[in-house]
Structure 1
Amino acid sequence: MTYDAIILGAGGAGLFCAMTAGKRGRRVLVIDHAKKPAEKIRISGGGRCNFTNIHTSPKNFLSDNPRFCISALAGFKPADFIALVDAHGIAWHEKTLGQLFCDGSSQQIIGMLLDECAQAGVTISLENEVKSVAKGETGFTVETSKGSFAAPALVVATGGKSIPKIGATGLAYEIARQFGLSVVPPRPALVPFTFGPELREALEGLSGVSVDAVVSHGKTRFAEALLFTHRGLSGPAILQISSYWREGDDIVIDMAPGRDVLAGLKEARKATPKQEIATALARLLPKSLAENVARRAGVEGRIADLSDRKLEAAAALVNRWRVKPSGTEGYRTAEVTAGGVDTRGLSSQTMEARAVPGLYFIGEAVDVTGHLGGFNFQWAWASGFAAGKAL
């Protein structure tokens, strides 16, 4: 069967590309191996879908080619997606830091995209596995478990490797390499850190404790919540910095941002010399964490009996805790995949492969990774729109 365009992947980027092309009169087929479309949308934002961020700018994305995202993001902005959401009568709210969520369910966003695709005459073929992709003189042929399909244009929107239990695969990278495109090595991003046995033991009993923190890796820093887990660290600040972290690197954590802990401890030593060091720390930190910091710093007892050096050791573990994660929880829990199809081989205007006319890559499959907070969905919409306009 012949179409004007075949799109591999019925996620956010694929569906948005399909409806955009369909509205322009193109006959579009979307193929996906999953039973249901857009599973990542369904589970996002705690089931309410953090569908965009009103503060979206190129600064919210990392890539080996950081300027690549500028054109697509300018061509389809958060306000454009909000207008579509409003037109479908979907109620939404801003949570924090410009993050927009559905008042109801993420299923409303999926329903909206499917409605738009239906109105545009898009055909969606689910539970259909791609066996092979080939290019001939007239375009592309896709062999699937449900037959053979052909089109002059092929859009790869199959995402990255994140969350394999909902069907994520590396198909996009295989197709890119098949056609001679480079792939920036993929890695889990927006993912919790894990610690080795020694550090896990030192932090035992802190699982579930949360603090506001500033987490740094080199010159990159994020100020959000941090959460101790039984495996290591999580929370928004940790997920954000994980996208920049590489194995073997340290991160630096300030668990009392804006507070000079050493000065506070010295003041406490003068004002209330009889109090325990852990009690003084508990004015800044949750009690269990304060006790843990004192123990790991090797300082105990009355604050009056402690030297400046001992106070410095405790303060450093709060304001400048340098820690080396042993790894991350991997693709199993990573919200996105960093790396992907090298954007130097793609047009930033249309997402088309420069050396392979008619072949496009969009969404998470591409080496453009957003920060936490709706930015990756905005990239899905923007890159899908850019390709959809060009088909």
Structure 2
Amino acid sequence: MPVVLVVDDSRAQRKLSAMYLRRWGYAVAEAASAPEALEICARENVDMVISDWMMPGMTGVEFCRRYREIPRDIYGYFILVTSKSDKAEVARGLEAGADDFLTKPFSSDELRARLRAGQRIQAMQAELIGKNQMVRETLEELQRLYDGLDRDLIEARKLQNTLLRERFRVFGRARVSMLIRTAGRIGGDMVGCFRLDSRRIALWSVDVSGHGVASAMMTARLAGYLSDGSPEQNIAFTRDQAGQRRIRSPAELAAEFNRLMLDELQVEQYFTLIYADFDEISGDLCFVQAGHPHPLVLRKPGATERIGDGGMPIGLVEGAEYEEVRLKLSPGDRLFLMSDGITECLGANGEELGEEGAEALLRGLLHLGSRDLLDSLVEELARFAGTDRFADDISGLVLDFQPSGSADHEDADARRLS
């Protein structure tokens, strides 16, 4: 039941107004002066006030201003009763916080209409408070969910980082340096390498479509298929009809990945790939390019050469065929594999770096060792973009082909397979 406070130094006017209010179902409080009314408002929850303008000691306008200073859970509706009709006086009342006016003499119907208008406003305010509370509770719940998800993503990033435990590996005359820089907590890029036999190594770079958890999970799945930690699961190897283990060619591997994506995994994602088979003794390189940016050969004299024919991404077209590219690296040459996070990096002017831009950027870094080259590449990209918060994952792999006799040791895989 709404509580209405009637404030008037005229006892007769108070009683008349109170009679009508009780008849209409309101709870009524009465005050003969503004100070008495303020005391009531301080100890009781008053929903609506009907106050005379002209009262001794404190006017209704001053009372309204003081009333608005009292902390309240709900909005109090304030009606000033006056014989004044001057616009400037009405403006004073509004500035003090009055919501409505009654001009003496007023009828009971007019009073009731003004009170109903005030109740509609209070009802809308109560509804708004309820909705705001619901919004706050929803936002708090979303924040708790976000905090939980963020903690999970941090742990997922730690796990994803274990997929590339070593950022530098030595395979006899082949030295491999690798870089992963995710745009978010987790990413869809991955690079890696493993030994195929006593003289050949595999190099690979993948970029799964999309971002977020689904892409990261697919990246982890692909890394499992290209890991020397699980030879039986590694898709680079298969068995011939006699049951003998053999090495798949790069084109065979890409085709098998395409079949696996479409026939078995049946996910909405696809991925781009560079997969290379390198002979560390002869320098022969055979690779397949499936939608990935073109590899670069960084020649010993300081020149760069873009290689590859493009190719269809993995997981888009059933029965897609993939062409192999063959070339020979000379001692001192380097092979660079990169994801489109590098070539599609946006500069401060909004233009993409592009493959030509990436090639030009690398030419300025050829004097550096491969590990320093990768670190400096990220710095140069940040300078180009005007920020180190990249929109896409960045990954790169550099193969150094060392001159004969320069290897001071071979890795454990080479000793086991030789």
**The TM-score by the shorter chain falls in which range?**
under 0.3
User: So what's the TM-score if we normalise by structure 2?
Assistant: 0.20
Determine which structure has more spread, i.e. the larger CA radius of gyration: 2
User: So what's the TM-score if we normalise by structure 1?
Assistant: 0.21
